[in-house]
Amino acid sequence: MNRKTFLLSTVSASAFVLLRGYAQTQPNPKPSNSSKMLIVYFSHSGNTRVIAEQIKATTGADICEIQTVTPYPSDYQTVVKQARKEIDAKYKPELKTKIENIGSYDVIFVGSPNWWATIAPPIATFLSSYDLSGKTVVPFITHEGSRMGRSVSDIKELAAKSTILNGLPVRGGSVKSAQNDVSAWLRQIGLVKQ
């Protein structure tokens, strides 16, 4: 190797080491939607689950279905009566589902069917059981006509120290064709890029 070649290879090797070091020490650029997101939902007959999966498909968020220790009856009239009593009594059913690492999430989507114009009691239990202060809570509700009802004000009461973003109501009968609405809503509230 002559002196010129040696000098050139030394310079390029040093540049490589310097650039590598630079790349390793620079923090990753943080796009506005790089928050860690979790979707928490309860679904009795499957509609809310469909929307939860659509949110997951668009955001890549982690997902967690809330289940109760004692499952709700599948018979419609029976669950309607039971839900009425539970909501009137502000009853909070015990949850089978435990979320270990909720502290690591910045944004929590909270999904529920509209039951008697509000969130289903398992979601009330969830909101009361975890410290969501400082987090962003994003409601989504499936319904058969009452849209969000008073869900948002009830969520605000139970997650008083969270920022609540505009929620999405979806009619139960339309959940399978709601992906475009879900994506548009996520763009509108700034959780996915335009």
Ligand X SMILES: Cc1cc2nc3c(=O)[nH]c(=O)nc-3n(C[C@H](O)[C@H](O)[C@H](O)COP(=O)(O)O)c2cc1C
Do the beta carbons of residue 134 and residue 159 sit within 8 Å?
no
Residue 182 in the binding site for ligand X (CB under 6 A) = no
Nearest to 64 by CA among 122, 144, 147: 122
Please, which residue, 46 or 190, has the CB nearer to ligand X?
Answer: 46
Residue 145 in the binding site for ligand X (CB under 6 A) = yes
Question: Closest distance between ligand X and the C-beta of residue 121, in Å?
Answer: 10
How many residues belong to the site for ligand X (CB under 6 A)? 20
**How far is Cα 126 from Cα 131, in angstroms, rounded to an integer?**
10
Residue 117 in the binding site for ligand X (CB under 6 A) = yes
Stretch that binds ligand X, among 14-22, 62-70, 101-109, 115-123 (CB under 6 A): 115-123
User: CA distances (Å), 143 to each of 32, 43, 112, 151, 179, in order?
Assistant: 31, 11, 9, 11, 16
**How far is Cα 140 from Cα 37, in angstroms, rounded to an integer?**
14
Residue 54 in the binding site for ligand X (CB under 6 A) = no
The tokens for 47 are 């509609």
**DSSP β-bridge partners for residue 114:** 119
Question: Closest distance between ligand X and the C-beta of residue 49, in Å?
Answer: 6
Residue 11 in the binding site for ligand X (CB under 6 A) = no
Residue 95 in the binding site for ligand X (CB under 6 A) = no
**How far is Cα 150 from Cα 119, in angstroms, rounded to an integer?**
8
Residue 93 in the binding site for ligand X (CB under 6 A) = no
Residue 184 in the binding site for ligand X (CB under 6 A) = no
Residue 67 in the binding site for ligand X (CB under 6 A) = no
**How far is Cα 53 from Cα 182, in angstroms, rounded to an integer?**
10
Stretch that binds ligand X, among 45-53, 57-65, 96-104, 121-129 (CB under 6 A): 45-53
Residue 45 in the binding site for ligand X (CB under 6 A) = yes
Residue 48 in the binding site for ligand X (CB under 6 A) = yes
**Residue 175 carries which DSSP code?**
G
Do the beta carbons of residue 155 and residue 119 sit within 8 Å?
yes
Chain residues binding ligand X by CB under 6 A are 43-48, 79-80, 83, 113-117, 142-146, 172
